[in-house]
A and B are shown apart, each in its own frame.
Chain A
Amino acid sequence: MVSFNLLLAVALAYVAFLFVIAFAAERSAEKGSGAWLRSPWIYTLSLSIYCTAWTFYGAVGYAARSGLEYLTIYLGPTVVMIGWWWVLRKLVRIGRSQRITSIADLVSSRFGKSTALGVMVTLMMVVAATPYLALQLQSVTLSFAVFADAAGDSWLSEDLTRSALWVALGLAVFTIIFGTRNLDANERHHGIVMAIAVEAVVKLCALVAVGVFVVWGVAGGFGPMIDLIDTSDIAQWQQSSGRWVGLTFLSGAAFLTLPRMFQVLVVENANEKNLITASWAFPLYLLTMSLFVVPIAVVGLKILPEGSNPDLFVLTIPLSQGLDGLAIFSFLGGFSSATSMVIVATIALATMISNHIVTPLWLSSKGPGAVVSGDIRQLVIGARRLSIAGVLLLGYIYFRLSGGGEALAAIGLISFAGVVQVLPAMIGGIFWRGATRWGAVAGITVGFVIWAWSLFLPSFGPDGILPQTVIDHGPFGIAALRPQALFGITEIDPLIHALMWSMLLNSVAFFFGSVLTFPQPLERLQGAQFVNIFEHSEGARAWTTSTAEAEDLLIMAQRILGSNEAQVLFQQEAQRQGKAGYLPEVTPEFVQNLERELAGSVGAATAHAMVGQFIQGASVSVEDLIAVADEAAQIMEYSNRLEQKSAEQERTARQLRDANEKLTQLSIQKDAFLSQISHELRTPMTSIRSFSEILREGGMSDEELSKYSGIIHDEAMRLTRLLDDLLDLSVLENGQVTLNMGQGNLKTVIDRAVSATAHSPTAITVKRRDGEETIPLYTDLDRLTQVFINLIANAGKYCDAKRPVLRIEPRKVAGEWVVDFIDNGAGITKENQQVIFEKFSRLSDHRKAGGAGLGLAICREIMTRLGGTITYLPGQGGAAFRVVLPPAVNPVLTR
């Protein structure tokens, strides 16, 4: 018989053993010789905290009550592990690169480092995990009771509850010691991980030992065992496929979202590659754990008295067979299952509480500047320790209140259904960039409310919290809101009912919430980083400008990371930058790095807030801006499409307007032109008429006679010239001109133009560059000569220098041959440079010019016809014109 004291002693010795292991592991890690601590095997074993006391004791009970359905609890995680490539790998990568400290941090961080979401998820997780913690305490207490019963001792129930309290206290101490040694939650808890790995081995061995004993020691071997199973009720159980699918999904989802699982899967993960081993080793572990469940259940049902609690068969079978040693070993297995779960769950919850509730509250209550004046490190550690104690206390209170009547598995499943409400936001967050904060809030809220209403509250039993009338007829008699028959759906298992409705409406709310709201810049940025984590694992948000002093940052960092760690961090950075001393340059990379370091201790949102207090004007980073721009681009894309249509219409309208304007303009131009022509024709005509009248009257001297007839002649010539020009221009403008193309040389053309103007009364001195004029031409040489004559004649007429000189300079500009005509006069004023090529645009006194102002207009038309240009060349001192020669298209001449 096992006495209470012996059992207590064994338990204490076992805990002491765990202390030693944890200490040894911490030591080894500190000395840097703990590479094996990061091995995939330790990682795989640490995952076994999934198998709590619920699985250790409860699976047998479950099998005894519902047959093989207990397998679903292992099936879900198996599927998740085998499919590690899709979800787990991404979670682990995100967790590592973003320094995620908990599942609440993950969700908060993804949705724009939202404090509200962090608080929500934390509270939800605490609510959902509390019954689970209570369950562990209960299992330990129950196992004590089993020994008491077997010993015939009448341990008082007060002793039992007190033992639960002692267990809770012991766990709190252990967790506080090993869970808060490092403030940095992201730095792994080697001691704890090592301890739970050992516990994983203990519980597996214990269960297998009991199983082996049952099969070979009680049933009499493998064959008889099979026969026994065949004849038992378990083989007769009708399995509901709906429940199978539902429970498999539930356990798989819970495997990802349970805070403690997230802690070991993601936070404590030392190497992404560990997943590869764990992906097959962990399912194997689960398989081994489940292997003997049915035999134990069958044998228990057979050999133990009617009414024995099947949840405790693992203990009661060895005890009934008088194998105290095996019973104690089995007790240690159950104890391991319970304690490892409680420790990790408590750490995970405490991290969430201190990072998402206590620290932000404290920071906001202190206002800006608090980071420097307060001691964050002490605060965070204190908060975490208090949280650990608080979480365990909650579990204990729940245990006391609930009285521990429920079957273990039922409590576990209710808890599972609660935590999986984070799943849509989590999976959506890492795979869908469109997921928004409001979508997450809506989904989680809806899911949580439905879970609480349809599963959690009714779990306290009729008239526990919800009155029986509400359960039967709905609140205020609204039948559609009956907790276990929402919207009139009855006939389903209450768990599946609650799971289905909560997940369905959760996902719907999440989806529509996301679609209907617009993510903020930070959310978009984080969304991109989470969803595309494999493209840029490095990137956390960059601080672009920093006016922060390195010293201030160091003081803050010391408060959080600890004095030495912070100094080492700063010193390393300073060394990397090649600076003497311990203070580095505050570069954006360093600030970002620092923020990540701090995030590992206090969570991303808090770290960002704290760093933000130092980095003035940095609340908008380049990446924020990019995200904003991204956003703007989307809006613009949409409005562009709208604009395009209206732009098209506007373009058409504008074209019509332009055409109309052009017509009007043309009409005005035509009127102006006619008026001009009329004026130009009338002026010489006036002289001709007047003088011919004078001559007709007769009676004047020979001198007068000759003078006046000379005037008549000149004016008649002027008229003729004007008419010639008009005709010429008209022909050129209407494109009816026939070009007389031919090969020639620039030199010849200039020669002809110069000699044609040489005898004019307004001839000008021409300076040429003979050597450079040998340029082959293929064009209408007569027309080109006409242009040159015009330019030379104009220079003669208008150059106002005392000794007018015109330089004719051929040159190559941008691959084209040009000829510049530059005189030494005053040039043409800027505003007039625009109009000289227009018809009738004589600028100065036209008595001297003797033309109608059509010359340059004609030149421009000619050059256009020839495929060259003529432009005014400003800034040359005198008036300067540049003729760009048409390309000599004849291939022989382009050489």
Chain B
Amino acid sequence: MAKRVLVIEDEPNIIEAISFILSRDGWTVHTHSDGETANERITATPPDLIILDVMLPGKSGFDILRDLRESPETTDLPVLMLTARGQTRDREMAERLGVTQFMTKPFSNAEVLESVRALVRD
């Protein structure tokens, strides 16, 4: 069964790009563009990996990540944070909150794919 990746992102073109790249590689891609309801969505149908934006309407990616880590079911869930906010401060914040990997936009498609593959073993 194909591994499921949940892309939480609000820029439609970026969603389109990530979806294209991952689908082509055989991943099942789900998308969610609202920050506020993101955690419910994850808890309802936990994916194998989450690609998480930071600047989301309703709830920031940092808050979503923190809540994920606080909940036992999702505490080990791999999260790839993908953000246009590339400052050191943001990276540190993400790491403190327990991000699995942090990448800045614009990204290279190959790198994203590589990371996704690395983060979801077997």
- Which A residues lie at the B interface, using CB under 8 A? 675, 678-679, 682-691, 693-694, 711, 714-715, 844-845, 847
Contact = CB atoms under 8 A, between A and B. Distances in A.
B21 A690 contact: yes
A678 B106 contact: no
A694 B13 contact: no
Interface stretch (B37-45, B60-68, B79-87): B79-87
A687 B11 contact: yes
Contact of A675 (B85, B106, B109): B85
B12 A847 contact: yes
Given A845-B57, A847-B10, A690 B106 contact: yes
Interface string B2-26: 0000000011111011101100000
A683 B14 contact: yes
A687 B17 contact: yes
Contacts of B107: 686, 689-690
B55 interface: yes
Contacts of B18: 690
Contacts of A684: 13
A685 B107 CA distance: 9
A690 B10 contact: no
Contact of B86 (A682, A694, A844): A682
B55 A688 contact: no
Contacts of B106: 682, 685-686, 688-690
Given A690-B107, A690-B109, A694-B20, A683 B87 contact: no
B105 interface: yes
Contacts of B108: 689, 693
Contacts of B57: 844-845
A686 B11 CA distance: 10
Candidate in A684, A686, A847 with the most chain B CB atoms within 10 angstroms: A686
A682 B109 contact: no
Nearest to A699: B24
B84 A711 contact: no
A847 B11 contact: yes
Contacts of B110: 693
13 contacts: A678-B84, A679-B55, A679-B84, A682-B84, A686-B84, A686-B105, A686-B106, A689-B108, A690-B17, A690-B18, A691-B13, A711-B16, A715-B13
Nearest to B13: A687
Nearest to A842: B57
Contacts, number: 64
B17 A691 contact: yes
Contact of A845 (B10, B21, B105): B10
In the A-B complex, list the 5 residue pairs whose CB atoms are closest, starting with the nearest: A682-B84, A690-B17, A687-B13, A689-B106, A686-B105
Interface in B46-90: 55, 57, 84-87
Contacts of B20: 694
Interface string B85-121: 1110000000000000000111111100000000000
Contacts of A682: 84, 86, 104-106
Interface residues of B, number: 23
Contacts of B55: 679
Contacts of B14: 683, 686-687, 690
Contacts of A845: 10, 57
Contacts of B109: 690, 693-694
Nearest to B34: A845
Contacts of B11: 683, 686-687, 847
B19 to A, nearest CB: 11
A188 B86 CA distance: 103
Contacts of A686: 11, 14, 17, 84, 105-107
Contacts of B86: 678, 682
A682 B87 CA distance: 12
A845 to B, nearest CB: 6
Nearest to A704: B20
Contacts of A714: 13
Contacts of A688: 106
A694 B17 contact: yes
A553 to B, nearest CB: 77
A714 B13 CA distance: 10
B17 A685 contact: no
Given A686-B17, A690-B14, 8 more contacts: A678-B86, A679-B85, A682-B86, A683-B105, A686-B107, A693-B108, A694-B20, A847-B11
Nearest to A687: B13
Nearest to A680: B84
A869 B116 CA distance: 52
Nearest to B18: A690
Given A675-B87, A679-B84, A685 B13 contact: no
Contacts of A694: 17, 20-21, 109
A685 B105 contact: yes
Nearest to A710: B13
B48 to A, nearest CB: 22
Contacts of A678: 84-87
A685 B106 CA distance: 6
Contacts of B21: 690, 694
A339 to B, nearest CB: 110
A688 B20 CA distance: 14
A844 B57 CA distance: 8
Candidate in B13, B17, B57, B108 with the most chain A CB atoms within 10 angstroms: B13
A678 B106 CA distance: 11
Contacts of A711: 13, 16
Contacts of B105: 682-683, 685-686
A547 to B, nearest CB: 66
Nearest to B89: A675
Nearest to A681: B84
A693 B21 CA distance: 10
Contacts of A675: 85, 87
Nearest to A682: B84
Contacts of A679: 55, 84-85
Nearest to B55: A679
A688 B16 CA distance: 12
A847 B110 CA distance: 26
A844 B16 CA distance: 21
B87 to A, nearest CB: 6
Candidate in B55, B87, B106 with the most chain A CB atoms within 10 angstroms: B106
Nearest to A675: B87
A844 B87 CA distance: 24
B5 to A, nearest CB: 15
A571 B7 CA distance: 98
A876 B100 CA distance: 49
A683 B83 CA distance: 9
A714 B11 CA distance: 13
A715 B11 CA distance: 11
B42 to A, nearest CB: 21
A514 to B, nearest CB: 72
Contacts of A847: 10-12
